[in-house]
Amino acid sequence: MSTWLGRRDATAKLLAALLVTAAVVSTLDPVASLTVIGALLAALPLTGVSPGALLRRGWPILASAAGIFVFTVLLGSRDSPVLAHLSLGGAGLDVRENAVGYALRLLAIGLPGFVVFATIDPTDLADSLVAHLRVSPRFAIGALAALRLAPLLADEYRLIRLARRARGTRAGLFSTLFGLLVAAIRRGIRLATAMEARGFDRGGPRTIARETHFSWSDVSVIVVGLMLAAAVIVLKFART
């Protein structure tokens, strides 16, 4: 990871994002959500994620928000069956504004999550959790190793489908997914054996080859998250 944000400590980034998310989740106020979204977009150059990449990989978030917006605001009316399920409790907000709040809140929750993970390298995350939060190294590295196998599973899926076809059986989706799960578990077992062969479960203390710092710039990431979360809370109370 070569960007400034990419080099910050993973736990710090995660903590900052969690603070912001927790604050955003507590309110439906559109302005609060917009503040978060705006702050994120402004910080986008720092993260190394291009707007193109945001669209390409973040499209489920945008699609969700757009879906809510379209189907409730544009097509909804007070007596639409869709809206009947979104009936209000007497909060006094206009129906449309509530739905806009929903859509924006979804974006304000999804985007920080997306950006955070786009700037976190899984190995760094494992190291950081072990070093700072005392997560058991066996579990962190075990999960990391399994994650490394993930792209291989994509190849495996394709090969299983072809192999089933070559055997003369129709490759139904469920059957192929089941075969993939079996293959994944088998690989996992072999990987576990290889890890043990290299001394993984030896029992003694384990060092980490990569250095994990926690410097003021990492603290600054948490502080920014805290400030953004505070801004959201303030807006929430100021506007009701």
Partner 1 sequence: MQTRWRTVDIVVASIIAVAFAAVFYAWNNVWTALESSFALPWRAVIYGVWLVPAVLGPLVIRKPGAGLYTEIVAATVSALFGSAWGLTVVVSGLVQGIGGEFGFAATGYRGYRLGNALVAGGLAGLGAALFDLSVYYGDTFTAGQKWTYAAIVVVSGVVIAGAGSWALQRALSKTGVLDRFPSGRERVAV
Partner 2 sequence: MLLQGASGAGKSTVLAAMAGLLAEDSGEQEGEILIDGRPAQQRRGETGIVFQDPQTQLVMSRAGDDVAFGLENRGVPRAEIWPRVDAALAAVGFPYGRDRGTAALSGGEQQRLAIAGVIALRPGLLLLDEPTANLDPEGAQLVRTAIAKALQDLDATMVLVEHRVDEALPLVDRTIVIGEDPDAVWTPAAPGSLPMPARKAPGPPGEALLTAEGLGLAHTDKTIDEVVLGGQALAVEGPNGAGKTTLALLLGGLTRPTRGRVVAAPALAGPDAARPPHRWRAARLAGRIGSVFQNPEHQFVTDTVRAELALGGASPATVDELLSRLYLDRLALANPFTLSGGEQRRLSVATALAAAPRVLVLDEPTFGQDLRTWRELVTLLADLRDEGRALVLVTHDPQFVAAIGDRRLELTR
Query: Of 89, 96, 91, whose CA–CA distance to 70 is shortest?
Result: 96
Residue 199 contact partner, candidates partner 1, partner 2, none, CB within 5 to 8 A by sort of partner: partner 2
Nearer to partner 1, 139 or 215 (CB): 139
Query: Of 154, 156, 189, whose CA–CA distance to 164 is shortest?
Result: 156
Ordered DSSP codes for 36-56: HHHHHHHHHHHHT--HHHHHH
In sequence order, the 6+-apart residues with CB closer than 8 A to the CB of 161 are 171, 176
Counting Cβ atoms within 10 Å, is residue 106 exposed (0-12), middle (13-18) or buried (19+)? buried
- Minimum distance from CB of 145 to partner 1 (Å)? 6
Nearer to partner 2, 64 or 176 (CB): 176
**Which residues sit at the interface with partner 2, rule CB under 8 A?**
122-123, 141, 144-145, 148-149, 151-152, 156, 159-160, 162-171, 179, 183, 186-187, 190-191, 193-200, 202, 204-211
Residue 180 contact partner, candidates partner 1, partner 2, none, CB within 5 to 8 A by sort of partner: partner 1
Nearer to partner 1, 189 or 238 (CB): 189
The angle that helices 150-167 and 137-148 make with each other, rounded to 10 degrees, is 50
Q: Measured between alpha carbons, how far is 237 from 201 in angstroms, rounded to an integer?
A: 52
Q: Which of 43, 117, 224, 231 binds partner 1 (CB under 8 A)?
A: 117
CA distances from 67 to 61, 86, 166 (A): 10, 15, 41
Site for partner 1 in 61-90 (CB under 8 A): 61, 63-65, 67-68, 71, 81-82, 85-89
Per-position x/- string for 170-189, each x denoting binding to partner 1 as judged by CB under 8 A, each - no binding:
-------xx-xxx-xxxxxx
Instruction: Kindly report the backbone phi and psi dihedral angles of residue 201, in degrees, each rounded to the nearest multiple of 5, phi listed first.
Output: -105, 30
Chain contacts with partner 1 (rule: CB under 8 A): 14, 17-18, 21, 25, 28, 57-58, 60-61, 63-65, 67-68, 71, 81-82, 85-89, 91, 98, 102, 106, 109-114, 116-117, 120, 122, 138-139, 142-143, 145-147, 149-150, 153, 177-178, 180-182, 184-189, 191-193, 195-196, 200-201
